[in-house]
Amino acid sequence: MKILVAIKRVIDYNVQIRVKEDGSGVVTDNIKMSTNPPDDNAIEEAVKIKESGKATEVIAVTIGEEKAQETLRKALAVGADRGIHVKVDGAVEPLAVSKILQKIVNKEKPDLVFMGKQAIDDDCNQTGQMLSALLNWPQATFASKIYFKDDKLEVVREIDEGLETIEVSLPAIVTCDLRLNEPRYASLPNIMKAKKKSIEQFNISDLGVDITPRVQQIKVEEPPKRKAGIKVANVAELVQKLKNEAKVI
Amino acid sequence: MAVLLIAEHNNKELRPFTLNSVTAASQIDSEVHALIVGYNFEEAKKALAALPLVKKVICVEADYYENFIAENFAPIIVKLAENYSHIICSANTFGKNLMPRVAAMLDISQISDITKIISSDTFIRPIYAGNALATVKSKDDKKCITIRPTSFDPCEISGGTALIENFQSSKQFTSTKFIKREQVKSDRPELGTARVVVSGGRGMQSGDNFKLITAIADKLNAAIGASRAAVDAGYISNDHQVGQTGKVVVPDLYIAVGISGAIQHLAGMKESKVIVAINKDSEAPIFSVADYGLEADLFDALPKFLEELNKLNTIQK
Ligand SMILES: Cc1cc2nc3c(=O)[nH]c(=O)nc-3n(C[C@H](O)[C@H](O)[C@H](O)COP(=O)(O)OP(=O)(O)OC[C@H]3O[C@@H](n4cnc5c(N)ncnc54)[C@H](O)[C@@H]3O)c2cc1C
Ligand SMILES: Nc1ncnc2c1ncn2[C@@H]1O[C@H](COP(=O)(O)O)[C@@H](O)[C@H]1O
């Protein structure tokens, strides 16, 4: 079994982002970048499945600028076997990402594609579902547990009402929640070894996908700032303020 | 052209956020048609037809629609799409799961989680966990949109007499099978729509200690929320999580107890009208968004809080 994992390079989740003064986007110069957090869970799950003997190969794919290769190297250092980098400058919409991934899937013919449930920069939560639609595959979104049952996959999904379990036949798409597993750290020897693993690079023109944006970003602004309030001395004062000042209880 | 609103329901009742989506849909075009797909949904259908803003209800029924598998729903919406300029659903787990599948089948670049409608093709949506607001314009002929329900008021629920039509079912998608749903039943208000939310974080230290929160929630008729850390630690189930990767809440009163206030948590609650933080660390970032901050040990403060509430003659429900 072959597993493809799609990972995105994003601004690190610890960075307090700043909006550019001209409203054209957020500041990215000299900002720490990392793998989109749930994509680390996606890689971890794929590597665990390989370690259990059920998969033979884990391929990490990223679509992004030249530096997105760093993200692939990290995936290789925690156990992915090889990487695919589709080189694109600037942001690519989920629909275009899913079309690119469809091409890669058609080339590599994986049995499973693992992805994150949401990218923490665009907060779109679309790409996995879109890729499943293009391939007409089952989609197991927001996964927090996965079990193999014969040749099928049982997936526990986090939904608003609680948990839902579905069973999907392979090939299938799984989008991962942060609770799916605990991503490992790369050891130094593995980081060194990862340098020798192969990364295949494509240009968009090689794949023949039209990535012209369909959504125009008109401006990006800072949200209104909340005024910091007051500190109360004790619980009695708190309750009194809620009752008589804020009038919410 | 009309707007197609995908109703969320549980085959018995409409899920509350359907009402907020109807409001959003009606801001785009007054001709709102609501699609209901499921099994044995008579009551929910009637409730939908009674919404004054809904002009037509389209029903699709089959046993394999009972559990809302997106792979089964999407082909119906794709077939209906030619008559509509916009397809709309709430950005909760139902809509998040379904809409992108529809959008990709229609070759449309979806716009997720909008908080404001500027015009029929221009919308505002939060990005980076709500730390920036993007104004975006769709260049697609048709639009697939999910709305952030808490940014729109619920619509009127009675007095409407929408036309009801049936539409043909599509073939079953057999590669995905529903197994079970584990729902935590509770008499409390729903987290998404509650007037008051009391949330606990890692500072609660155990699931058992959440009874301190429950006691106060009972008193205030509040829903119970949690940080991701509290859910990860197993103190409480995932449906309580508030934040970037959980639920967004905008109650009149949000009380954060033992929660540090990471940006991912703030993403889900910082629009609340009044925020209270109870935390023993004076430097906790949650205080920077709190209207009333109480620097205290929660194990001391929560029992006192309950005592003070008990002293009040009246409490708003
Ligand atoms: C991609 C991504 C998505 C995420 N999504 C979410 C999300 O949706 N929701 C979310 O909540 N988090 C989310 N997180 C996690 C987030 O970054 C924080 O780790 C999390 O919110 C911390 O939870 P906490 O405040 O309960 O715990 P901590 O940060 O550990 O804070 C505990 C607080 O309790 C206080 N405390 C401890 N003991 C007491 C006591 N006895 N009395 C009073 N105060 C006490 C401490 O002072 C501290 O401030 C996400 C993270 C990532 C990377
Ligand atoms: N540029 C990209 N390269 C690789 N994978 C991506 C890219 N963009 C999105 N993805 C995948 O799609 C998931 C959801 O992203 P989104 O739909 O943008 O929220 C991410 O967690 C990744 O797994």
Question: How many alpha carbons fall within 13 Å on the CB side of residue B58?
Answer: 19
Average pLDDT, chain A: 97
**Across A143-147, B155-159, B310-314, least confident range:** B310-314
Q: List strand residue ranges (DSSP E) for B129-195, in order.
A: 132-138, 143-147, 163-166, 176-183
Q: Is the peptide bond before B285 cis (omega within 30 degrees of 0)?
A: no
Atom of ligand 1 nearest to the CA of B286: 49
pLDDT at B177 over 90: yes
What's the pLDDT band for B273 if we cut at 50, 70, 90?
Answer: very high
Residues B136, A215: C-beta atoms closer than 8 Å: yes
Q: Is the ipTM of this complex over 0.90?
A: yes
Residue carrying structure tokens 């799609």: A6
Cβ neighbours of B137 in A, within 8 Å: 215-216, 218
pLDDT at B280 over 90: yes
Residues B102, A169: C-beta atoms closer than 8 Å: no
What's the pLDDT band for A131 if we cut at 50, 70, 90?
Answer: very high
Burial B203-227 (b: 16+ CB within 10 A, else e): bbbeeebbebbeebbebbebbbbbb
Residue B276: which of B246, B305, B307 has the closest Cα?
A: B305
What's the pLDDT band for B15 if we cut at 50, 70, 90?
Answer: very high
Amino acid at B5: L
User: What does each C-alpha distance from B207 to B4, B63, B229, B233 come to in angstroms?
Assistant: 42, 38, 12, 9
pLDDT in tens, A5-32: 999 999 999 999 999 999 999 999 999 9
Cβ neighbours of A243 in B, within 8 Å: 312
Strands A230-232 and B292-295: parallel
| Predicted pLDDT at A158 | 97
* CA gap A248, A113 in Å, rounded: 48
pLDDT at B135 over 90: yes
A77 CA to centre of ligand 2 in angstroms: 20
Average pLDDT, chain B: 97
| Predicted pLDDT at A228 | 83
| Predicted pLDDT at B184 | 80
Give the predicted TM-score (pTM) of the model.
Answer: 0.97
Strands B122-127 and B116-119: antiparallel
What's the pLDDT band for A227 if we cut at 50, 70, 90?
Answer: confident
pLDDT at A145 over 90: yes
**Across A206-220, B57-71, B90-104, B177-191, least confident range:** B177-191
List the beta bridge partners of residue A217. Answer: B136
Q: Could you say which of A13, A166, A215 has the minimum Cβ distance to residue B178?
A: A166
Q: Could you say which of B126, B176, B252 has the minimum Cβ distance to residue A168?
A: B176
Residues A133, B101: C-beta atoms closer than 8 Å: yes
Domains and CATH numbers, chain A: 2-223 (3.40.50.620)
What's the pLDDT band for B317 if we cut at 50, 70, 90?
Answer: confident
pLDDT at B183 over 90: no
Distance from CA of B298 to the nearest CA of A (A): 11
Amino acid at B288: S
Residues A248, B304: C-beta atoms closer than 8 Å: no
Q: Is the dihedral angle over the CA atoms B26, B29, B31, B33 positive or is it negative?
A: negative
Residue B272: which of B260, B296, B256 has the closest Cα?
A: B256
Give A107-170 as a DSSP string.
Answer: HH--SEEEEES--TTT----HHHHHHHHHT--EEEEEEEEEEETTEEEEEEEETTEEEEEEEES
B106 in Cβ contact with B76 (< 8 Å): no
Give B251-300 as a DSSP string.
Answer: -SEEEEES----HHHHTTTTT-SEEEEEES-TT-GGGGT-SEEEES-HHH
| Predicted pLDDT at B160 | 95
pLDDT in tens, A47-75: 999 999 999 999 999 999 999 999 999 99
Residues A217, B102: C-beta atoms closer than 8 Å: no
Mean pLDDT of B75-101: 98
| Predicted pLDDT at B120 | 97
Distance from CA of B29 to the nearest CA of A (A): 21
pLDDT in tens, B28-60: 999 999 999 999 999 999 999 999 999 999 999
> Could you tell me if the CB of A92 is within 6 A of ligand 2?
yes
